[in-house]
Structure 1
C-alpha cells in the first residue's frame, strides 16, 4: 500500500519508519527543508514515562486560572480573540477531575512504557545513536511541602507499572553528583531508573536518513500541504505546493497544525499549540554539569545532558501560533541552570529556541482511522512527543495492518471512549 505521511517531525518520521518496515511504500511530505525542524527540533530531551501524569487535574485547573493574570508562572495564558482556544479550554476544564486525571494518566503511561521499549529496540536494530543516556531521571522538589504533595502522582504511576525510588537529598546527590553541591536547596525527589534522555532532532535526522536509504521512504521536503482532495469516504490525494500527491492512505502527523487541517474536513481534532522554550548550552566544565536527566518540579524546568551540552526547557504558553521569543523569556531557565549547576556553563553561549507543542485537552494523543476510510491520525502528543513517538508509530502500524496491537488500545484509538 502507498501511504502518505504528513509531517517529518519525530512522530511522523517514526510512523514512516514502522509503516515502511511493514512493507508499505511510504512518502513523507514536509514543509521544512529537512526533518525535525519544527516541534521536534528542541525539547527537554527526556524520554520519560515518569512524566506520564496528565496535565488536566484539579491542581492544574487552579494554576490555569491563576495564569490568566499572573504571567510569572510556568503556565502562561495570553487571552486573545481565538474562539478555538476557548473551546479547547472548556474541554480542558472538563478533564480536570480526579477520575479523568487517573484515566488519562493510565493511557499515557501505557503508551510511554511501550514507546521506551520501541525506541531502544529501534536503536539496537538500526545502530542509530542520539546522545542517549540510560541512567534514569530525577524529579526533585525544593521544599518538604512540595515533596509531600508532589509524590502522590508518582506513587500512582508506581502502582501502575513504573519503577520509582523516593529519595532524600543525600541519596539524590549520590545518584546525581552534579547536584551534590546544591543538595541543601533540595528536599528530595523521585528517581525513575528506566527513564532516559536523548536528542530528538539528532534521532529524527538519522532515522529519516535510515528510512530513506534502507527502507525506501521518500521525503518531499520544502513542500507545503495545502489541503486534501476527498471523494466520498476516501482521500484521493494530498494537495501540495508541488501539485497533488496520490496514495492509498494518508497519515496526519502535523504537530500543532494537525487540528487546523482536520477541522477543514469535519474531523474533531482539538489539538492546540502550546509554546515551550529551550536553551542549549555547551558545558565549559563537564564535571559540574548533570550526569542524567532531571526536572525541577517547583520551577517546572526539565533538563538533559546531551553529550557535552546541557539542554533546559520550560514554560507552557498559550499564545496561538506565535513562535517568536526574546532573551528575557529565558531568564528563569538560565537562572535555574546557574543555581543548580554553578560554574558549568557560560550563559552567553546559549542557543535559544521556542516551539509549539500539539496539546490535546486530556493530554492523550490520538491514533487511528478518522472519518474517512483511508485517513489516519498520529498526533496530539503534547510535551511528550519525543517520549511517545516510536510507540505511537509502532501502534499505528498495527492499526493500519489490521493486527492486534501490542498494547491495549483502550483510550488511544480515535473516536473511542476514553
Structure 2
C-alpha cells in the first residue's frame, strides 16, 4: 500500500483517486478550488462519446483552419503570441495532420473509449446514473455539405450501432433539427452514446471518495512547486503548506504544465479554450433527445436533465478564461438558427473552459521522468468521456499490472 497524492480535483483527478483507492492505496486529493469539478469539468459539453472520436489533427485541417478564421461562424480563432510553447505545440500538431497519424490515433482512442464505457458501468453501484443525470441518448453527427457527408458515410465501420440517415430521416428521428433540414445533407447516428452532467458526476464521486476507508482527505490550496530529490518527487509545495506522500499523480488539467515545469518536465499540452451555453428547457420547447454534433460548425447539443447544453469553438489564445462577447453572440446566433425552439435562449448561462490538448488529441497516461510521479493529462475536449478509462489504466500501471492494450501513443515518450 502506498500513500498517493493526486493533484487535481476535476473529473480526471477524481476518477484517478477512486481507482487508486479501490486498488488498495491511501489517497490524498489536492485541489486548488474550494469545490471539486469547478474548472474545465464544470460546464463542458456533457457528451460521453465512446465511439465517435475524431482527433483534431487530420489531413486538410491546416487549410480548413485558415478558412475558419475568416468565417462569421468559424469554430477556430488563433491569436499568435510570443510564447515558444504555443509554436512548438503547433509544429507538433501540424506534424500529426497526416492520414496515417490520424488513423493510428483514432484506433487507439476507440480502444480507450470502449474501456472507458466499461469502466463507467463498473461505477454504477457506487455513483448511480441518476445522481448525475446520465442518459443513453445516442449520438447524431449532422453534415451540411455533400462532400463531408459522403466522406463520413463511406468510411468503413463494422459497428452494428451505426446508421446513415439523409436529412429527412435526421429530422424524423430528431425533430429539434426541423428548422435546419434544408441546410443538412444527412447524418450518421450511433446508439450507445450518452450525455450527463460532468459537474454533478464530480460532486457525487467526491462524496463517495470522502467516505472511502483509505481516503486521507482533501487539501484545498494552490500547488506551487514539485519538490524533488534525485529521481524522485519528495513533496508538493502548496499555499496550504507542504503535502507529502510515497507517490504523486499529476491530473490537474492545464495547471499540470506549469507545475511539471517546476520539476524540469515539459508537457506537450496547450489550452484550447471552448465555450458553452446552458439554457432551461420549457414545457413548450422542442429540445433534442439525441445528442447532436454539427460537424462543419463543430457545435455540440446535449439535453441534460431540464437544460440544453451547447458547446463549441476552439480559441488558441493562451490561458485566457474571459468570456468573449463576440464569440458568445456568434454561438447564440448559430444555436437560434439551428434549433430555434429548443430552449429559452433569453435565459442562457455562458461559460468558458480551457481544454488541455496534446498535438495528436490523445491523453498522456503513466510514467514521468521521476520514478514516483505519474501522469493522467491531456484529455482535450474528451475528459469526461475518457476519465474512467484512463483512471483504470493508471491504477494498473501503478500496480505494475499489464494494461488491457498497448499504450503506444498514450505516453509521454
TM-score, normalised via structure 2 length: 0.94
Give 2:3's aligned residue: 2
> Do the aligned partners of 2:226 and 2:236 also contact (CA within 8 Å) in 1?
yes
Q: Distance in 1 between matches of 2:266 and 2:81?
A: 22
- Deviation for aligned residue 1:334: 1.8
- Deviation for aligned residue 1:260: 1.9
Give 2:295's aligned residue: 297
Match of 1:404 among 395, 402, 405: 402
Alignment RMSD? 1.9
Give 1:48's aligned residue: 49
> Do the aligned partners of 1:359 and 1:381 also contact (CA within 8 Å) in 2?
yes
Stretch deviating more after TM superposition (273-282 or 206-215)? 206-215
- Deviation for aligned residue 1:321: 0.4
Give 1:214's aligned residue: 212
Unpaired runs of 5+ residues, structure 2, are none
Matches within 5 A, 1:230-309: 230-285=228-283, 287-309=285-307
Residue 141 in structure 1 maps to residue 143 in structure 2 = yes
Give 1:169's aligned residue: 167
TM-score, normalised via structure 1 length: 0.93
- Deviation for aligned residue 1:185: 3.0
> Do the aligned partners of 1:30 and 1:219 also contact (CA within 8 Å) in 2?
no
- Deviation for aligned residue 1:286: 5.7
Matches within 5 A, 1:4-403: 4-66=5-67, 72-128=73-129, 129-151=131-153, 155-156=155-156, 158-159=157-158, 163-180=161-178, 182-285=180-283, 287-403=285-401
Instruction: Find the residue that maps to 1:93 and give its secondary structure.
Output: helix
> Do the aligned partners of 1:274 and 1:356 also contact (CA within 8 Å) in 2?
yes
> Do the aligned partners of 2:254 and 2:270 also contact (CA within 8 Å) in 1?
yes
> Do the aligned partners of 1:32 and 1:221 also contact (CA within 8 Å) in 2?
no
Aligned length: 411
- Deviation for aligned residue 1:199: 0.8
> Do the aligned partners of 2:73 and 2:331 also contact (CA within 8 Å) in 1?
no
- Deviation for aligned residue 1:64: 3.1
Unpaired runs of 5+ residues, structure 1, are none
> Do the aligned partners of 2:226 and 2:260 also contact (CA within 8 Å) in 1?
no
> Do the aligned partners of 2:293 and 2:299 also contact (CA within 8 Å) in 1?
yes
Deviations 1:32-57 (A, max 9, x none): 11111111111111100243121111
